[in-house]
A and B are shown apart, each in its own frame.
Chain A
């Protein structure tokens, strides 16, 4: 951790360039000239939590909400498969009533025959519940701590089960106990000092590497984007700091996966691709039904946990997205960009048949 901390100190442009070169070399050696592709599939934007920075917060009662039916989830997944994706991350807000564990399990079972890699980014569960998801055919778990600063965490999460910092931070270990072998952790950058956030994230990763030795970890450094509710980032996390963070992780953890989403703009994504990134999403939508329009006939508002039907129908209305997308290029366009940079977009890198899905 001492080396990691020193890599986060103030650097001259020449020093940062040297870090970037070393990061590129290490990335090539460990991951080759490849980029793993994935897509998020939002199945619901219902949520019982209040997170100041998130559009899905329960107190945002004016937003359009929907939970996709299983058939609609299949339709969205098929659309993504047609575009090339063989790795789909199912995402949902945390709402036991609308997004039950049984529902998530059904979603997994409904798409596992035609999607080789399935991950989930949903409300935290107990280990036996995670095991159910793995048994159903799920291989990856994503759960970000959001911020590792306890005080700021408390200020940001004002209602709902997510208020409990310790319950959330133990999630990756419960997921490992449940049988997940690919686990993504991360922090939302823009809530607290970026150096401290990166340092704590690295400490978490080091802990997990020791205690969950059979899991492959990925990290992500999502920067806050405008969301419903008008939340603005509280701290600055400029591009150079993002580059320094990526390089520091690569240099100290040569084998960790680093994920970059479409919340970053195209030119920056292009520049970061060879530096240490190993997984990218492309053409993403962060609203349920965003790919095919599925569920648009069921939009409603949710107030105090109860569905409130719309008095007037608006054909153009869409479910609220979690955050804005900055890189709107199609998956094929992103793959072409990668190819130009000498990177092969890898769509399939896992086979569900490895797991004995019950």
Chain B
């Protein structure tokens, strides 16, 4: 039996794995990883793309993304709402989709997202008809504020970008999942397939992975490893995992005496 598909803003995807495109050793390796991972949504930093429409051979990252993949432009590099909004508009003007992964991280050391600017930008972009997928810290109130504004997903981080620490924000993400009315995509910090599986077992709707696949010695093979982990974690969630317990089940029941006459 197949896992349920993922629906974002009315569009359906079979794969629940999103891929980032930074950090690969070459465009060819990136394309191979995209294909092998089965992903249907790929995010690209607009600052690395050619927005002039002149086909710059030295900024041709978009050429390596297969045409049937949904391109999700991201606003990485923007430090405030104004810059992010400007980038998103430019992307559309350059012929890219009106989907945007809203990323505003003014701190270049940990790349943690700015909640205030993100909310401000989301308000503007949603009003302008963009399909907004905001990258946020694992803050349940912010997640609710954003879904109230009309974002298509929320994308809480598991741990800082590129850190490979896994889901260190687990408790907060659990609250976000419980409250969400839009898909929850765990983004950042997923350094191993087991981290991805964990996100799905918790009930996340999708994950976004970049560094762990991009810097692997064989990115395509690592893409497959993540694909399997995503499918396994999601399948387990759909079936319902057995509750775990720290104690063994008592072999001699303690309350049967109640029913003995």
A contact set with B: CB distance below 8 Å: 28-34, 84, 86, 116, 181, 209, 213-216, 255, 339, 342-344, 346-351, 353-356
Would B77 and A350 count as touching, CB distance under 8 A?
yes
**Is the beta-carbon distance between A347 and B59 smaller than 8 angstroms?**
yes
1/0 contact string of B102-114 vs chain A (CB within 8 Å): 0000111110000
In the complex, which residues of chain A have a beta carbon less than 8 angstroms from the beta carbon of B163?
29
B24's contact among A32, A181, A255, A348, by CB below 8 Å, is which? A32
- For residues 163 through 202 of chain B, which have their beta carbon under 8 Å from a beta carbon of chain A? 163-164
Please give the distance in Å from A168's CB to the nearest CB on chain B.
24
CA distance A88 to B219 in the complex (A): 32
Check B25 against A342 for contact (C-beta < 8 Å): yes
Task: Pick the interface stretch among B48-56, B125-133, B136-144, B233-241.
Answer: B48-56
- 6 closest cross-chain pairs (CB), A and B: A32-B23, A216-B108, A33-B25, A348-B59, A347-B58, A84-B58
Q: Which of B50, B77, B78, B214 contacts A32 (CB 8 A)?
A: B214
Closest to B83 in A: A354
Interface majority SS on B: helix, strand, loop or mixed?
loop
Given the complex of chains A and B, what is the CA–CA distance between A342 and B58 in angstroms?
A: 18
- Does B39 count as interface, using CB distance less than 8 angstroms? no
Q: Report whether A32 and B59 are in contact in the complex, using a CB–CB cutoff of 8 Å.
A: no
Which of B22, B86, B108 is the one whose CB lies under 8 Å from A214? B108
Contact sample, A vs B, 10 pairs, CB 8 Å cutoff: A32-B23, A32-B215, A181-B79, A214-B106, A344-B25, A348-B56, A351-B47, A353-B86, A355-B83, A356-B83
- The CB with the most chain B CB atoms within 10 A, among A346, A348, A349, is that of A348
Q: Is B82 an interface residue (CB 8 A)?
A: yes
Task: Tell me, in angstroms, the Cα distance from A74 to B51 when the chains sit together.
Answer: 21
Given contacts A86-B59, A342-B25, contact A349 B211 (CB under 8 A): no
Q: Is the CB of A356 within 8 A of B82?
A: yes
- The DSSP consensus for interface residues of chain A is loop
B residues 34-86 touching A (CB-CB < 8 Å): 46-51, 56, 58-59, 77-79, 82-83, 86
With both chains docked as a complex, state the minimum distance between the C-beta of B216 and any C-beta of chain A, in angstroms: 10
Q: How far, in Å, is B112 (CB) from chain A's closest CB?
A: 11
Add 11 more A-B contacts to A32-B211, A344-B27 (CB < 8 A): A29-B163, A29-B164, A29-B215, A32-B23, A32-B214, A84-B58, A86-B59, A116-B59, A339-B26, A350-B47, A354-B77
Residue in B closest to A25 when the chains form the complex, CB atoms: B215
Task: Kindly state the separation between the CA atoms of A342 and B108 in the bound complex, as whole angstroms.
Answer: 25
The smallest beta-carbon distance between A87 and chain B, in angstroms, is: 10
Interface residues of B in 212-261 (CB under 8 A from A): 214-215
C-beta contact mask, B13-34 vs A, less than 8 Å → 1, else 0? 0000000001111110000000
Question: What is the distance, in angstroms, from A28's C-beta to the closest C-beta of chain B?
Answer: 5
Which partner residue on chain A sits nearest B59 by CB separation? A348
Residues of B within 8 A of A181 (CB): 79, 108
Is the CB–CB distance between A344 and B215 below 8 Å?
A: no
CA distance A342 to B26 in the complex (A): 8
Task: Indicate which residue in A30, A215, A349, A351 contacts B51 across the interface (CB closer than 8 Å).
Answer: A351
Which one of A31, A214, A344, A354 lies within 8 Å of B87 (CB-CB)?
A354
